Amino acid sequence: MSNLLEPTLYVIKGIAILDNDGNRIVAKYYDPHCFSSVKEEKKFEKNLFQKTHRANAEITMLDKLTCVYRSNVDLFFYVMGSSHENELILLCVLTCLYDAVSLILRKNVEKKTLLENLDIILLAIDEICDGGVPLETDPQVVAQRVALRMEETPFNDQTVSQVLQTAREQLNYN
């Protein structure tokens, strides 16, 4: 019975969004034991894309990882977990990711708009998963939290010197 794996909250091994050529747009890996370098991550992503870009399925196994995926126009969304992970949990995270991105980008889920809003998409991924632990699976909540965060950080159109000046002012008040 020593072969049984202990349950863990660290369900997600990685999240990736690739373009229609299999190139990385966004990738976050949460388990440092899966890949030792960025080169290995990109090799895995290329293999994953080759295996999934023409398939009609939603799930595959590759390099001892369970990968659920979804494609749209010119993007491929992937959520990876260990080989013994519950596929329904992975699929729930994938659905949340895709739907949250769709809400954030106002249903214009394509490479150009995703790249233009990359900072918001990275925030959304952080709201969904922290260190491999799924935190939120409701895309509406994720989109609302990201919108709140973007309102709180008025640095979008400021120069670096303006941001530093604002920080100095806030430090002086404390």
Residue 168 scores a pLDDT above 90: no
Determine the Cα angle at 62 with ends 83 and 124, to 5°. 80
- pLDDT at position 148 is 78
Q: What is the mean pLDDT of residues 119-148?
A: 91
CA 118 – CA 165 distance, rounded (Å): 25
Question: Comparing 20-24, 40-44, 54-58, 117-121, which segment has the lowest mean pLDDT?
Answer: 54-58
- pLDDT at position 21 is 92
Residue 153 scores a pLDDT above 70: no
Residue 24 scores a pLDDT above 90: yes
Residue 156 scores a pLDDT above 70: no
What share of the chain in percent tops pLDDT 70?
A: 86
- pLDDT at position 154 is 54
Q: What is the mean pLDDT of residues 166-170?
A: 71
Q: What is the mean pLDDT of residues 15-30?
A: 94
Q: Look over the chain and give the mean of its residue pLDDT values, rounded to a whole number.
A: 86
pTM, entire model: 0.81
Location of structure tokens 């949340």:
96
- CA 33 from chain centre, in angstroms, equals 18
| Per-residue pLDDT tens over the stretch 31-87 | 988 888 999 999 999 999 999 988 878 999 988 999 999 998 889 999 999 988 889
Helix residue ranges, H only, the chain: 38-52, 87-104, 111-116, 118-128, 139-152, 160-173
CA-closest candidate to residue 98, choices 11, 16, 13: 16
Q: Which two tokens stand for residue 105?
A: 């980008």
- pLDDT at position 2 is 45
Residue 101 scores a pLDDT above 90: yes
- pLDDT at position 73 is 82
Domains of the chain: 12-173 (3.30.450.60)
